[in-house]
Amino acid sequence: MKTKQVVVLEVGSSQLRVIVARPGLNNSLFVKDLAVKNYDGYYQGEFVEPSKLAPVMFDLFNSIDFVRNKYYKKIFVALPAEMTNVQLASSSINVEGLGKVTKNDLDLLNAQVLEKIKSPEVEIVSSSSLGYFVDDVKMIDPIGKKGRNLSAEFSIITCQTKLIKSFNSILADLGFINVEYISEPLASALCVVPEEEREEGALVVDVGHLSTSVAYVKGNGLTSLTSFSIGGGHVTSDLSEAFDLSFENAERLKKMVVISVEAQPLDYYDLITAEGKVERVLQDDANKVVSYRLETIASAINQCLIMQGVSLVNYMPIYLIGGGVSKIKGGKDFLAKCISKNIAFGKVPFPGLNKPEEAVIYSVADFAIKNCD
């Protein structure tokens, strides 16, 4: 049997990444190719410089020599939270024949739900069951169960049709024959949150460079998803402005900051700049700049939870992924303190690939492999 190999484009808030991967030994992930290109990103779901998107994508795919390697047959495009929307819808049917639920019954339920959501303005990215009911008895897998009525609630993720058409046009020019869209937040949640925790419900907070998303996963779907255009890049901008540094040098300073340690009045960070100079920055001042922005992010996360109607019970698992906060020393714990809940790093279950800042790219590759025809 031919090994499944997938090509996935991840649309980040400051980078486009393409990964070529296939299943590895012992349930691992084998990465054959991985390339990254910086670009202007997006703001509130709209590309900042739409005209520059195609040239960057051409450069990105050429960097992995996708034509020679014949990667153009099919591509998965992982859409971020700011470009998608979650809707919940339910459906119900009477079970025919001998009263045993079949796969055809599940397909009919799903088809009915998709018909409710169908619209010229949006494309359906995914449809996930949040749970089935056979004669009002809830279950995960109803196939073979006896009953007269089958119902289910579904999580439907959609994207604006105009955005899909824009991607399709660029990818067609690149020569891709088949394009399939997937939800980045859904793929991440299914990969980093253990199945037993998803049954009760869990949160995945993805803080990227310029964008943050808050996804509530239950079962195999998302029940809510919100996002806002603030991320780790804003921490860098704050440091740049506060200490009159270039963005590159502010990034260097951010990597030095340790907000989990209380700085003394005369403690300094000795920043070695890109120009080879040493600049002394008061630790307390730098820590305050970083802490202020993290407080802003935490406040926005709390607003997302209010909008989603999610009540943070003490035992609810919360996972942090993305490089916006996870790469700041003490950032996760500071964020946890701000929202008064424990937060764990979200990691994919693949040896050697378990950094939280890389969780998204490997999650979408895993999702594509599991859903590849």
Amino acid at 221: G
Interhelix angle 232-243/247-256, rounded to 10 degrees, is 110
How many angstroms separate the CA atoms of 330 and 291, rounded?
A: 10
- pLDDT per residue, tens digit, the chain (373 aa), is 456 899 999 999 999 999 999 998 888 899 999 999 999 999 888 899 999 999 999 999 999 999 888 888 899 999 999 999 999 999 998 887 667 888 888 999 999 999 988 899 999 999 998 889 998 888 888 898 888 899 999 999 999 999 999 999 999 999 999 999 999 999 999 999 999 999 889 999 999 999 999 999 998 999 999 999 999 999 999 999 999 999 999 999 999 999 988 888 889 999 999 999 999 999 999 999 999 999 999 999 999 988 888 777 777 899 999 999 999 999 999 999 999 899 999 999 999 898 999 999 999 999 999 988 7
How many angstroms separate the CA atoms of 258 and 334, rounded?
A: 11
Q: What angle do CA 224, 226, 227 make, to 5 degrees?
A: 155
Q: How many CA atoms lie within 13 A of 39 on its CB side?
A: 26
Task: Write b or e for each residue in 202-240: b if 16 or more Cβ atoms lie within 10 A of its Cβ, otherwise e.
Answer: bbbbbbbbbbbbbbbbbbbbbbbbbbbbbbbbbbbebbb
How many angstroms separate the CA atoms of 230 and 206, rounded?
A: 11
How many angstroms separate the CA atoms of 354 and 331, rounded?
A: 18
How many angstroms separate the CA atoms of 324 and 229, rounded?
A: 12
Global pTM reads 0.93
Determine whether 319 is exposed, middle or buried from the number of CB atoms within 10 Å of its CB (0-12, 13-18, 19+).
buried
